[in-house]
Structure 1
Amino acid sequence: MVVAAPPGRPRGEIRVPGTDVVKSQRLRELREFLMSRRARVTPAEAGLPDGGPRRRTPGLRREEVAVLAGVGASWYQWLEQGRDISVSPQVLDAVARVLRLSNAERRHLYVLAGLNPPAPEVAPERRDMCEGLRRLIDTWMPYPAHIMDMYYNCVLYNDAAAVVLGMRADRTRNCLIDFFTDPLYRSRSRSWERNARSVVAQFRAAYAARPDDEGYRAVLEQVSEASEEFTALWNERDVEEPGQVRKELVHPLVGLLCVESTALQVPARPDLTIVLHTPLEEANTAAKLEWLASPQGRRGAMYPVAG
């Protein structure tokens, strides 16, 4: 179907919302957002006198926000009016502090102001989520699942991860280091060489986002000292985002298992990654995993088996 061009517009010309329109919408949203956040902060919460019954503004006044943030009153007025002015992360952080913004709101403020948002942080009230995440990976049974922190340290794993992947309390500490140094996992993984490159490339991407983080640096030093294979792959400087990885494992009791691991992140806990393993339609993998989780399979796993 051919759509006729409106009068005055050349035939075949398609109008696409320009950057000016998008920018205008963003600045209008910035204005509404700042006004709504300012209205909910009382003078008492900001450490100011409440002004008594004569005060008409429900929250802070613009000039009060400016003084508390250490910026000019005119500049803050222009910011809240959605004018196209220059802003810096330092000033936005000062405004966010005065307006008592949450981590998510602070990132939203950066986006509306046209700056790259800071890295996500864990809100204090969301730090205690481990019980819920434990229920999540236990519900994934009989399929393997584990959770690791931003440095690849193993936080939690379910029973299937112990039986299939060889995770165990006396050994499993850091998933990256274990991938290169754990002889049990290495002996079971038929796809180790193929997946090693992706594992290193994903760690480089995470490390590059926080180059000054001592936690990443410590892991890098430890795994580099422990594995020449890691060092060789690290020097290739490949970068890859986490996603889905095919794994082929040979379990001593049931033989070949073909699974697909998927890395998921919970926005409320950006420091954690949930890794779920889904059986593929090969080698009767789903049935084998169900058997390994059954009482009979668990009894079989109690006895020492090579590999």
Structure 2
Amino acid sequence: MGTQDDIREFLTSRRARLTPAQVGLPDFGGRRRVPGLRREEVALVAGMSAEYYKRLERGNASGVSEAVIDGISRALQLDEAEHAHLHDLIRTANAGAHPKRRRPVGSSQLTAAMQQTIDAMSTVPVFVQNGRLDAVAVNRLGRALFSEMLDGARPPANAARFVFLDPRAQTFYQDWEGNTRQIVAILRAEAGRSPYDRQLSDLVGELSTRSDLFRRLWGAHDVREHRTGLKRVHHPVVGALDLTYQSMDLASDRGLQMLVFSAEPGSSSHDRLQLLANWAETKASSEVSADAEAEVEAAARED
């Protein structure tokens, strides 16, 4: 699907969720062929001609200004993520516009200094991802927390593939349905920012082919930023965990986002997270001991 189609379907889906009363217009009744606002009503609230808005909704974004985008955003009551998404779509579609140059997310690697930093954060799980939701780096506790996703996955492990294609995800995430919607909305926003990312297009195509649910949610054109929230999981080792997360973009590694998870002090989730940390440390120590023993045996055979 091209950018013009994305603009049309995004705007159509946003006005379909509003009523005249919600935007301060009288409803004179009569049969509406489609749900929500008419194009003329959006144009009226946005302060532009109906013909101009209709042309934009058909995907003709040539010369659209910031003021026009702001007016449409106010009329359609777009949130911050939706406003940014519309801006990205129009920027791409604008005649003569050049896509914003970004470091390809597929080649993003964590700097040695940043890897050292997250490894030092030993009391909280840390997960670093790119815009496609590939796992780029984790610390020890992060690997333990997301072992269901990471262990045995073909590299790079990807949160969207895990949620939609791995049956274990439905047990791991206590609100699996909510996570499916969040994942798709995050990928939609990234697709608007990076319209020429071939690996992202391939991922969307794969998930659309293999998951009816993904295909349906993708068609809703919802977008979302991944900044803060609650993640409720059921870990196979320690059980239920209610974790808050904070995310931040890494200035030293453009295109990457670091998520840090924590549990409320004194809660059962806090105790279980400590148990998970102890389990991860014991497991790592056992693996080191096994490697050392193998080296000794190999050296003995050489002698």
Provide the TM-score with structure 2 as the length reference.
0.53
2:183 to 192, 199, 205: 199
What RMSD over aligned residues (CA atoms) do the two structures have, in Å? 3.1
**Pairwise CA distance, 1:234:** 0.9
**Pairwise CA distance, 1:204:** 0.3
Q: Where does residue 138 of structure 2 map in the other structure?
A: 157
Is 1:222 paired with 2:206?
yes
Which amino acid is 2:176 matched to?
A: W
Which consecutive segments of 4 or more residues in structure 1 shift more than 3 A? 116-123, 280-283, 295-299
Q: Where does residue 152 of structure 2 map in the other structure?
A: 170
**Does the Cα contact within 8 Å between 2:174 and 2:232 map onto a contact in 1?**
yes
**Pairwise CA distance, 1:169:** 4.5
Which amino acid is 2:150 matched to?
A: R
2:277 to 276, 285, 293: 293
Unaligned segments of structure 2, at least 5 residues: 1-96, 287-303
**Pairwise CA distance, 1:270:** 2.0
2:249 to 265, 271, 275: 265
Is 1:237 paired with 2:218?
no
Aligned length: 184
**Does the Cα contact within 8 Å between 1:262 and 1:275 map onto a contact in 2?**
yes
1:143 to 124, 127, 131: 124
1:210 to 173, 191, 194: 194
Q: Distance in 2 between matches of 1:296 and 1:240?
A: 32
**Does the Cα contact within 8 Å between 2:119 and 2:139 map onto a contact in 1?**
yes
Q: Distance in 2 between matches of 1:219 and 1:296?
A: 31
Q: Distance in 2 between matches of 1:201 and 1:266?
A: 21
Q: Structure 1 or 2: larger helix share?
A: 2
**Does the Cα contact within 8 Å between 2:143 and 2:150 map onto a contact in 1?**
yes
Unaligned segments of structure 1, at least 5 residues: 1-115, 303-307
Looking at CA atoms only, which structure, 1 or 2, has the larger radius of gyration? 1
**Partner SS for 1:261:** strand
Q: Deviations over 1:28-75 (max 9, x none)?
A: xxxxxxxxxxxxxxxxxxxxxxxxxxxxxxxxxxxxxxxxxxxxxxxx
Provide the TM-score with structure 1 as the length reference.
0.52
**Pairwise CA distance, 1:233:** 1.1
Q: Distance in 2 between matches of 1:296 and 1:169?
A: 14
Alpha carbons of 1:294 and 1:192: their partners in 2 closer, same or farther (altered >3 Å)? Answer: same
